[in-house]
Amino acid sequence: MRFPRTPLAALALLPVLVLLPCAAPAPAGGQADAPKLNPNKPPGPAPEGMVWIPGGEFYMGIAKEQLPRGLPAAHHFRDAWPVHKVYVDGFWMDRTEVTNEQFAQFVKATGHVTHAERKPDPRDFPGVPADKVPKEPFSVVFVMPKGQDKELEPLSWWKVVPGACWKHPEGPGSDLTGRGKHPVVHVAWEDAAAYAKWAGKRLPTEAEWEFAARGGLDRKLYAWGDEQKPGGKWQCNVWQGTFPTTNTAEDGFAGLAPVASFPANGYGLHDMAGNAWEWCADFYRADYYEDSPARNPRGPATSHDPFDPGIVKRVVRGGSFLCADNYCMRYLPGARNKAEPTSTASHTGFRCVMELTQAGKK
Ligand SMILES: [Ca+2]
Ligand SMILES: [Cu+2]
């Protein structure tokens, strides 16, 4: 990672405007080009904590016209078009983000030491002078800044905290008491991949993730439909108020929420929007949708982030409790984001999938 940059680094440079509460409906899909879902017949009993995602065709991405009018950062979604039809095979997926309890079992069984618990390696900080690389293990923690929004330094809400890691989410003085069911965070891509391997699973591809997040709906803006707050109720744990200085926690949670605190989507998956960002298997390329395979895309061979050329990125999906309409609305099922695989932060976790060929192997 590029100290002290974070997965959200690029956003800081953007002006913050007010979002008009006016969501345009998704363009109607003509019957002729409606995607075909596979019949939802699970091939067997679900592995514990997982649900069957039938696979089939879907439209991946977000059309520009679908975005709420006046969205301050419409260019966040530039990498999410063109909308294109993709087919994915069926798979099992974790109902929830991997929790601290689950991650603790993995650590107990394997002795895994996460990236954030290890001495920083200057090779993980291209472009940072070696003497500026922190000497002690650290992770990046969101701390609500004081002061007026307009006076804030970009990204001043991200703090490099020595000793912060999955079991000390705010640093050495904090622990997991009462947070067993929270999503594990402060995990790097390799930590997530190691957990998945141990569990007899793998990380989802970006296409699998989005197919699953859409819950069987076709080209909807939200994982649950067209409306942000059906019946006036928040459907996921994001940020209400003006990010980053006012968090009204109207959805009930100022920080992370225990997994499955909000309703499941059409496939029985919780928190595919908000709570914690989720690592995907794929490398990130902003232009990948322009010529990605139509069947089971597995991501590009190399990564490219035009905001950060030369820095390798993996895909993260789903947004987090820090997503706010005035700043980063990327908790939409079609929205993409990226992070350096060695970066860790207080809003990034993961969940796993299992292919049929993996089922019963563990
Ligand atoms: Ca919240
Ligand atoms: Cu966001």
Supply 146's token pair.
């004081």
Q: What is the Cα–Cα distance from 80 to 82, expressed in whole angstroms?
A: 6
pLDDT at residue 106 is higher than 50: yes
Q: What is the Cα–Cα distance from 293 to 254, expressed in whole angstroms?
A: 39
Strands 277-283 and 314-317: what pairing?
A: antiparallel
Instruction: Give me ligand 2 centre to Cα 47, in Å.
Output: 31
Q: Calculate the average pLDDT of the chain.
A: 90
- Ligand number nearest CA of 318 is 2
Task: Output Rg (C-alpha) for the chain, integer angstroms.
Answer: 19
Strands of the sheet containing 353-354, edge to edge, are: 50-53, 91-94, 353-354
Instruction: Give me ligand 2 centre to Cα 6, in Å.
Output: 13
- Predicted pLDDT of residue 112: 98
The CB density around residue 209, as the number of other CB atoms within 10 Å, is 28
Task: Determine which of 162-171, 217-226, 353-362 has the lowest per-residue pLDDT on average.
Answer: 353-362
In the chain, % of residues over pLDDT 90: 77
Average of pLDDT values for 304-327?
A: 95
Q: Give me the DSSP letters along 159-205.
A: EEEET-BTTBBTBTT---TT-TTSBP-S--HHHHHHHHHHTT-BPPP
| pLDDT band of 362, cuts 50, 70, 90 | low
Region of residue 127 (left: phi > 0; alpha: psi -120 to 50; beta: else): left
Nearest to 280 by CA among 214, 209, 201, 198: 209
- Predicted pLDDT of residue 200: 97
Tens digit of each residue's pLDDT (9 = 90 or more) over 252-296: 999 999 999 999 999 999 999 999 999 999 999 999 999 999 999
Instruction: Give me ligand 1 centre to Cα 192, in Å.
Output: 24
Instruction: Give me ligand 2 centre to Cα 347, in Å.
Output: 10
Instruction: Give me ligand 1 centre to Cα 320, in Å.
Output: 9
Strands of the sheet containing 314-317, edge to edge, are: 337-339, 314-317, 277-283, 348-349
Residues 6+ apart with CB under 8 A from 282: 205, 206, 288, 297, 298, 299, 300, 314, 315
Supply 241's token pair.
């108020």
Task: Determine which of 67-81, 91-105, 128-142, 143-157 has the lowest per-residue pLDDT on average.
Answer: 143-157
Instruction: Give me ligand 1 centre to Cα 326, in Å.
Output: 14
- Predicted pLDDT of residue 107: 98
Query: What's CA 330's distance to the chain center, in Å?
Result: 9
| pLDDT band of 235, cuts 50, 70, 90 | very high
Strands 277-283 and 348-349: what pairing?
A: parallel
Nearest to 327 by CA among 186, 206, 169, 149: 149
What is the Cβ-side half-sphere exposure of residue 57, based on CA atoms within 13 angstroms? 8
Supply 61's token pair.
């991405």
Supply 228's token pair.
């942000």
Instruction: Give me ligand 2 centre to Cα 336, in Å.
Output: 10
| pLDDT band of 32, cuts 50, 70, 90 | low
SS3 track for 68-106: CCCCCCHHHHHHHCCCEEEEECCEEEECCCCEHHHHHHH
Q: What is the Cα–Cα distance from 37 to 355, expressed in whole angstroms?
A: 18
